[in-house]
Structure formats: C-alpha cells, structure tokens
Amino acid sequence: MRITVHLDTFQCADAAYAVLWLDRESRKWSREGHAVIDLPAWGALTYPQRNTRIHGAGHDRAICELTGLNLGSPASPCEGESGQALWYRHAHHAPIPGKWHIQCVDNAESDPENGVFAEGGL
C-alpha cells in the first residue's frame, strides 16, 4: 500500500509544504515535492504510539511526526483523513506545528522499477 500525504500550514514566514509517498509495508517514504521544508529525498518510517514518524535515511532523529496517522494498525487509512504534523526543523528546538492530510491511498500491489521502493532501496 502506498499513501500520498500532503504536509502544510506550518507557521513559517513562507508557504511551507511537502508531498510524500509513504509505503507502510517497506516502512520507507520518498519526497515527491516540497517548498521551504527541507526534507531528504527518502528515509524510514516508524510507528510509535499510534503515530507515524518520518526519519531521514541513515539516522534516528525524527524529521516530522504525523500525530494520529497509525500506519502500524491493520486498518487502512482513508483518503481525506487529516491531523497535526510536527516538523522538527532544528534538532534542539520545539517542533513547528502544521497539518497533514491524505490525498490518495493506493492499495494496488505493484513492483517498482527503481528508486527507494525497489528491492534494496537506494
């Protein structure tokens, strides 16, 4: 299952947003578009306490937390579902609050040709 999630309405001087593809089974994500939010191209997902945390590839620090998005649950998320996003812009500062909402849920099983979701990742 691949989920397209849109992050926005962060309290910044400029309009900040990101569009991410989340793959629940592989526990990976990739960045599909962004402005102001400086996210790496891809990384790993964790599912603590019925939330979803977005980590950069190769490090443990969360970049963003999607509160209430429980990808660890067997239930599928729904298109249009939304909640609070916490963007950890700087490691030792309070997170910047924003919103997340699911744009699309793709339940079709397909094997990607290349990229982060292909066997072995990048």
Question: Where do the structural domains in the chain lie, given as residue ranges?
Answer: 2-106
Q: What are the residues facing 45 on neighbouring strands?
A: 54
Residue 1 contacts residue 106 (beta carbons within 8 Å): yes
Q: Which residues of the chain have pLDDT under 50?
A: 112-114, 122
Model pLDDT, residue 10: 84
Residues 32, 82: Cα–Cα separation, whole Å: 19
Model pLDDT, residue 16: 85
Q: Quote the pTM value.
A: 0.85
